């Protein structure tokens, strides 16, 4: 007897609808769910193709200024048609499907709306004139969007550090209780790494040059021919187009593409930032577990579908997940940079269409999350104090020994008394689950009578935090404030970060 097929096995797969709505196709959660409108728009097709047209306009304008017979009407037509409407986007898509070449598809459509300019669009250029120069423009603009957001996060965290600069809390090494620090001092550890990220991203931004006008293999041969062998005019053409887009310099040499090592350098700064975000969000998750600090939790927010009491740190968890993704995109950029053949290959194209936009959108999302978290962190001093009281008696033993010695006691004898009492208290904590009663044992021991009146002073948590408060103050004044000063206007105008979902 043949086995019977289950209904699930026999059911036909649902037919794909002829006209799909936006809910019937996969869309990146980065653009559809998380990222800002500004960053999403920067890497949109609309921005990409209008930027190509700006590049063609700049090239034709510079060529005309250097003597090529390009009519004024051609330049004016190009200026009037820098933006694409839906009809032009559709025509370009149809042309690309036919020609299998995106740049030539858009050359064709640009020529349709600017017919006088059609003979001069893309004159002397290779495809990478528009694709690579546009990518460099997007890299720079993307970094320009990220830098102020990063400065805002730093500013918000600095305010948090200042507020809690003198609130003692347990420090942890190996995730075991260690010497006390302060809540504000711990926050400066996050801020310091963010300052390094600010420096790295700014440096990556300032290092960007333009590919400029280099021709098919980077030799500028086509432009040398256009200008009848006049090397000076070719160099000036390169300089004019570069200046048009506000870049400080054109790369002195290039193949058909600019070196993909530039992508790697830029994405490396974002990957480094991802490590900072991962560390900070992980710390916050651990603090949430300890109930010492909580990330924002909205009035109607649900922590668990089953456990109604839960307050899951979903923002910090989302940061961790996205940071892992962002940190790994650098591997793709590295392999692409090292895998280019001679003057270029095309195996970089599809890869870069994913890694560059998604890296920027991911960094953008993480910064929004970090701002939202830093603006709404809740601290619970009572819980923090309770945790300190559970550990401080052990930490205070050295202070007690020194006080006894100053009162005339023998250090070795005192050490032995402390050792015996500490072990007794530890047994009560570990085996009976009771509070640490070491100090009460010390109070009752006649040996420690000479310092009985000093015990409360010796147990003041603030006496165990060293220079934490002063470190916070000096760090903010000397390092944080100068670093965020260039973004003062952005910080002043920034509203609170709201999460879309």
DSSP 22: G
Are the CB atoms for 217 and 264 separated by under 8 Å? no
Catalytic residue check, 349: no
In whole angstroms, what is the distance from residue 157 CA to residue 180 CA?
20
Going through 191-303 in order, the beta strands assigned E by DSSP cover 293-294
Are the CB atoms for 183 and 167 separated by under 8 Å? yes
Closest CA to 89 of 51, 129, 49, 116: 49
Catalytic residue check, 155: no
Run of H or E residues at 189? helix 183-206
In whole angstroms, what is the distance from residue 338 CA to residue 148 CA?
32
DSSP 14: P
Catalytic residue among 44, 46, 304, 407: 304
- Token pair 């400065």 is at which residue? 151
Report how far apart, in Å, the C-alpha atoms of 91 and of each of 76, 82, 108, 109 are. Answer: 22, 16, 9, 7
In whole angstroms, what is the distance from residue 249 CA to residue 261 CA?
17
- Token pair 């009035």 is at which residue? 299
DSSP 16: P
Catalytic residue among 174, 289, 305, 495: 174
Structure-block tokens of residue 215: 């021709």
CB-based burial label for 312 (10 Å; 0-12, 13-18, 19+): middle
Residues with a catalytic annotation lie at: 174, 304
């Amino acid at each position: 007897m043949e086995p019977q097929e289950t209904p699930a096995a026999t059911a036909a797969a649902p037919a794909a609808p002829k006209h799909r709505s936006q809910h019937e196709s996969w869309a990146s959660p980065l653009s559809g769910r998380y990222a800002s409108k500004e960053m999403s728009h920067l890497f949109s097709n609309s921005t990409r193709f209008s930027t190509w047209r700006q590049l063609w306009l700049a090239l034709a304008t510079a060529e005309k200024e250097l003597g090529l017979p390009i009519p004024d009407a051609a330049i004016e037509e190009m200026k009037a048609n820098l933006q694409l409407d839906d009809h032009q986007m559709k025509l370009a898509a149809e042309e690309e499907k036919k020609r299998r070449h995106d740049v030539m598809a858009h050359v064709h459509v640009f020529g349709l709306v600017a017919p006088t300019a059609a003979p001069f669009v893309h004159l002397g250029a290779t495809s990478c004139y528009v694709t690579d120069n546009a990518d460099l423009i997007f890299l720079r603009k993307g970094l320009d969007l990220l830098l102020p957001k990063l400065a805002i996060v730093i500013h918000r965290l600095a305010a948090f550090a200042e507020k809690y600069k003198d609130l003692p809390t347990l420090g942890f090494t190996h995730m075991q209780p260690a010497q006390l620090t302060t809540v504000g001092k711990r926050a400066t550890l996050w801020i310091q790494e963010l300052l390094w990220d600010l420096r790295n991203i700014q440096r990556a931004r300032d290092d960007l040059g333009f590919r400029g006008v280099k021709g098919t293999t980077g030799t500028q041969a086509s432009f040398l021919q256009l200008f009848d062998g006049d090397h000076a005019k070719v160099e000036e053409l390169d300089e004019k187009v570069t200046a048009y887009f506000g870049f400080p310099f054109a790369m002195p040499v290039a193949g058909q593409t600019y070196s993909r090592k530039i992508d790697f350098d830029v994405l490396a700064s974002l990957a480094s930032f991802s490590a900072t975000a991962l560390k900070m969000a992980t710390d916050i998750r651990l603090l949430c577990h300890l109930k010492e600090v909580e990330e924002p939790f909205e009035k109607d927010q649900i922590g668990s579908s089953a456990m109604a009491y839960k307050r899951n740190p979903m923002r910090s968890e989302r940061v961790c997940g996205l940071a892992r993704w962002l940190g790994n995109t650098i591997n793709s950029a590295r392999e692409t940079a090292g895998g280019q053949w001679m003057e270029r290959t095309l195996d970089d194209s599809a890869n870069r269409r994913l890694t560059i936009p998604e890296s920027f959108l991911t960094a953008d999302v993480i910064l929004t999350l970090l701002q939202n978290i830093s603006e709404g962190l809740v601290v619970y001093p009572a819980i923090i104090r309770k945790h300190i009281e559970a550990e401080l008696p052990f930490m205070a033993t050295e202070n007690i020994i020194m006080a006894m010695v100053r009162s005339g006691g023998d250090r070795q004898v005192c050490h032995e008394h402390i050792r015996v009492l500490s072990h007794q208290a530890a047994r009560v904590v570990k085996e009976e689950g009771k509070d640490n009663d070491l100090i009460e044992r010390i109070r009752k021991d006649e040996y420690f009578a000479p310092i009985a009146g000093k015990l409360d002073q010796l147990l003041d948590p603030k006496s165990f935090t060293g220079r934490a408060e002063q470190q916070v103050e000096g760090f903010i004044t000397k390092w944080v404030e100068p670093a965020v000063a260039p973004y003062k206007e952005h910080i002043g105008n920034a509203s609170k970060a709201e999460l879309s979902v």
